[in-house]
Structure formats: structure tokens, C-alpha cells
Amino acid sequence: MHIDQKTALYGVVGYPLAHTLSPVMHNAAFLETHMNAVYLAFESQDIDGCLKGMKGLGIRGMSVTVPHKSEVIPLLDQVDDLALSIGAVNTIVNRGGVLKGYNTDAMGALKAIQEETDPAGKTCLIIGAGGAARAIAFILKKHGTNVNITNRSLTRGRALATALKCPFIPLEEAGTIKADILIHATSVGMYPFHERCIVTPDMFQRGMIVMDIVYNPVQTRFLTLAAERGCKTIDGLGMLVYQGVEQFRLWTGLDAPFDAMTNALADAMRRFG
């Protein structure tokens, strides 16, 4: 990679960011497509300041992660209809100083799930009430899935369920739901707190499809418990790559090098392990 005064700048903003593999994935894509561009991590709790810096420095694209996915919306110049409907933005495109927000989490999660099953007509329980949970719940409902929400915070969980017009189940009662698909959409279990798990083993039912959006580590405690109970598991790397492919397309107008991005992540996780 040759960096000079013409190098285009992209990045991810969130807090904390010690876990992020997005720079690995997107820099691999830039190298594969011979783009003079670099992708960096900007750890910050000041999302308003980051957007001002994005305009001032001409940063062309930004990924948005926790805790900024919802609070960033009123700070943007434009918001895509899908992201507005979901109520969460994870991708910003800077076109001539106009910042437009998109949501690629939704399609990223859907494609990862569709590799294992058609979610239409199935019952899904989603753990979480943040931006990722909102995106996943919205897109699954749109594709005919019977979505239920559970969350540690009753207030946030009920608010999301009300917004999506779907049932809310308190976390301590969530094991009573006969779900075909169980999705963990919080940051619990993310490195360096990888021994943590938000649920007990009795949540998992044999034959259930279980997905964790956490990708560092790939094999979370949540997925380990699910596998031990006879569930089919989906790790967080699939969603990460699929949403990243769409981000790359939005930023550059080019088809993303899927294999290069996937291989770079796999190499990074081997080194991490």
C-alpha cells in the first residue's frame, strides 16, 4: 500500500474499537482492487465531532458501530429510506460534503442467515435492542419471519418491540419461546470479555439455528453452548463480510472482492487465535 496526498480515507467510528476487524477487511478490498485508499479505526464517543471532521478532512466513507448507530441519524444531511425505517445507520457516504446514511447490517444479516435457512414463516427470537437488533428484526419481518424481541433492559426492549409491532419477552422468560432461529445481537461476549454469555444453556433447543453477531472471537461462548445443545450455529463473520461488501459498493461504485475480504478476515482470526 502506497500512501500519498491522493490517498482516499475511510474508517470506522465507535466506542470501544479494540475488537474491530473492519480495517483488515476493507484494506484487503482496497488492495485487491488497486485503489489508492486506506481504512482506519477512529475510536470516539463524540459522533457529532467525528462527522464534522469527516466533512472537514474529506473522509469519503465511514462505518458506524456501537453506540452511535441511532444517535447519528439526526446529524446527517440525508438518510436512505431503509435506514430511516430501521432507525439505525451503520454506513455513511460523503459526496461533496453531503453526508448520507445507509444501513447495510440488515442485508448482511439476512444473507448470512439465508446461507443456512429460508427465514420466511419461521419464528425468530432476537436478543438485544440496539442498532444491529433493530436492523435484523426489521429485515426479517420484511421477509416474512415471526420476530420476537428479548433484552436485559425492559424499557429498551419493549420500545423496540413496540416500534416493530412484534412481541416482547423478558429475558428470564425467553426460554419458553419455541423459536426456529435465535439471534444474539448485543456486544456481550466480545473480546476481551469473551467468557461472558447473556443466556443460560436451557435457552438452546436441539435443531435450532443460532447466530451471534459478535465476530471477535469467532467462536463465542454463546455459540459454544448452542453447539453443545445440538444447534446449528452461524458466527458473526458472515454478516460482517456481507455488510462490508455492500459498504464497499456504496463508497466506490465497484463490486467488492468478496473472497479477498473473507480470506483477510480468516487470516486475521488465525493470527488472533
Residues with active-site annotation = 69
Distances (CA, A) of 11 to 56, 93, 106, 154: 15, 11, 20, 33
Helices (runs of H) and strands (runs of E) counted in the chain: 9, 11
Spell 100-112 as b/e; 16+ CB within 10 A means b: bbbbbbbbbbbbb
Distance (Å, rounded) from C-alpha 222 to C-alpha 254? Answer: 36
In the beta sheet, which residues pair with residue 147? 124
Q: Spell out the residues 6+ positions from residue 244 whose beta carbon is closer than 8 angstroms to its own.
A: 22, 25, 26, 29, 104, 108, 256, 261
The secondary structure of 208-257 as a DSSP string is -EEEE---SSSS-HHHHHHHHTT-EEE-THHHHHHHHHHHHHHHHSS---
